[in-house]
Amino acid sequence: MERVYLDNAASTKILPEVLDELVENYRNCFGNPSSTHREGQKAKKSLENSREVIAGLLGVEGKEIIFTSGGAEGNNLVLKGAAEAYSYKGKHIITSNIEHPTVLNTCIELEEAGYEITYLNVDSDGVVNLEELKNSLRKDTIIVSIMSANNETGVVQPINEIGRILSKTAIFFHVDAVQTMGKDIFYPKENRISAFTASSHKFYGPKGTGFIFLDKNFLLKKQITGGHQERNRRAGTEDVNSIFGMQKALEVIYGNIFNEQRHEKKLHDYLEKRLREEINDITINGEGTKRLNTITNVTIKGCDVQTLMVALDLRGIYISAGSACMSGAFLESNVLKAMHLSKEDLRSTIRISMGRYNTENDIDIFMENLKEIVKIERGE
């Protein structure tokens, strides 16, 4: 049975050239980068080289890159660390009601700790309301946290415009860039971003590692205590080898970014054309605004999402119902609720997410199987 993997928004396959170099690095670089002996300093040199390479790709300074275990830790560290660092100015935080669970659940914890959170609404396409943002800003607002693109719908948020609004303030601007890193050239300082989070396995690197960009003019209070790693901003021995793999993956993707984008757009357009023409009574969520070319979120009326996913899985086709952090429990999507989907439509929506290894043949296989399953589900 031929496998068709269409869940790249959840995780991507590591690049073969990265895997080869990563294995070699594991063989030759095994010291603790905090050790002062030769093997430790060899690891330290590898670590700092990765930091400088990533910083160079983003147009920032090496000291502005903090290595983490991934997006979840990064979002927690930024939100809690900035909230504590700037609590003397106020305790008001603004985010949106379509953020990733690692942001929303962290905000819930901050509310319990005495912070006040304003959750911005989105329109029917899933775009944050900028007027509501402007009207929500207060003297005691210390953080605005908005994702760059939604992980369920691929809808791109107006980060440039938000940056311009906040440029007249000293407010800490956090961007969850987990889904967009590796999809486009990204220069955070052009958008007045204070901090953003990224995760290696979303751009063909190893799992379990990621990074934060933190503008040197802003502060975070350390959340993991112990050692003084990462310039005393995050304790714990750095995973030097995975960080090396992440650096290599980002170099490869950035070096080929325009070909990557052309490939993604070609597949995206082909998939959505076939969906519209070959399956009736569907809605592509967020289609009225700018979206990533890697994600299609579609409601197929009269079909149950669990049935669709299981049936496709049995045929070797892998998709999701939304966020990988939520879909295992089949919880209703807070993102689609915010976009005003009906309860029935919430249970009829799937996410197809493509990447560099997908082909038009993958889409053909997916569509032929999907059409058969939909007919059975609808009793046609």
**DSSP secondary structure string, 234-279?**
S-S---HHHHHHHHHHHHHHHHTHHHHHHHHHHHHHHHHHHHHHHS
Least confident of 113-127, 168-182, 320-334, 341-355: 320-334
Claim to verify: residue 299 and residue 237 sit in the same structural domain: no
d(CA 149, CA 157): 6
Mean pLDDT throughout 183-204? 96
Claim to verify: residue 190 and residue 332 sit in the same structural domain: no
Claim to verify: residue 68 and residue 141 sit in the same structural domain: yes
Q: What are the C-alpha distances in Å from 250 to residues 92, 101, 246, 315, 334? A: 35, 25, 6, 33, 31
Mean pLDDT throughout 253-265? 97
Q: What's the pLDDT score for residue 376?
A: 94
Claim to verify: residue 121 and residue 57 sit in the same structural domain: yes
Claim to verify: residue 243 and residue 335 sit in the same structural domain: no
**pLDDT (tens digit, 9 = 90+) per residue, 280-300?**
999 999 999 999 999 999 999
Q: Token digits for 10?
A: 């959840």
The pLDDT-based confidence of 226 (bands split at 50, 70, 90) is very high
Claim to verify: residue 224 and residue 273 sit in the same structural domain: no
Identified catalytic residue from 29, 107, 303, 325: 325
**How many other C-beta atoms lie within 10 A of the C-beta of residue 295?**
24
Domain end point (choices 228, 255, 282):
255
Claim to verify: residue 244 and residue 350 sit in the same structural domain: no
The pLDDT-based confidence of 329 (bands split at 50, 70, 90) is low
Domain end point (choices 255, 272, 288):
255
Beta carbons within 8 Å of 311's beta carbon, 6+ residues apart: 373
pTM of the entire structure?
A: 0.95
pLDDT over threshold 90, residue 309: yes
Question: Domain residues for 297?
Answer: 4-12+257-378
Claim to verify: residue 310 and residue 370 sit in the same structural domain: yes
Q: Encode burial over 345-366: b for 16+ CB neighbours within 10 A, e otherwise.
A: bbbbbbbbbbbbebeeebbebb
Claim to verify: residue 125 and residue 232 sit in the same structural domain: yes
**How many other C-beta atoms lie within 10 A of the C-beta of residue 122?**
22
> Domains in the chain: how many in total?
2
Domain end point (choices 237, 255, 273):
255
Average pLDDT, the chain: 95
> CATH number of the domain that 157 lies in?
3.40.640.10
The pLDDT-based confidence of 2 (bands split at 50, 70, 90) is confident
**pLDDT (tens digit, 9 = 90+) per residue, 80-112?**
999 999 999 999 999 999 999 999 999 999 999
Claim to verify: residue 99 and residue 237 sit in the same structural domain: yes
pLDDT over threshold 70, residue 327: no
Claim to verify: residue 167 and residue 112 sit in the same structural domain: yes
**How many other C-beta atoms lie within 10 A of the C-beta of residue 74?**
28
d(CA 163, CA 287): 24
Claim to verify: residue 118 and residue 149 sit in the same structural domain: yes
325 among known catalytic residues: yes
The pLDDT-based confidence of 332 (bands split at 50, 70, 90) is confident
Name the residue among 252, 244, 266 with its Cα closest to residue 355. Answer: 266
Beta carbons within 8 Å of 134's beta carbon, 6+ residues apart: 165
Q: What's the pLDDT score for residue 58?
A: 97
> CATH number of the domain that 303 lies in?
3.90.1150.10
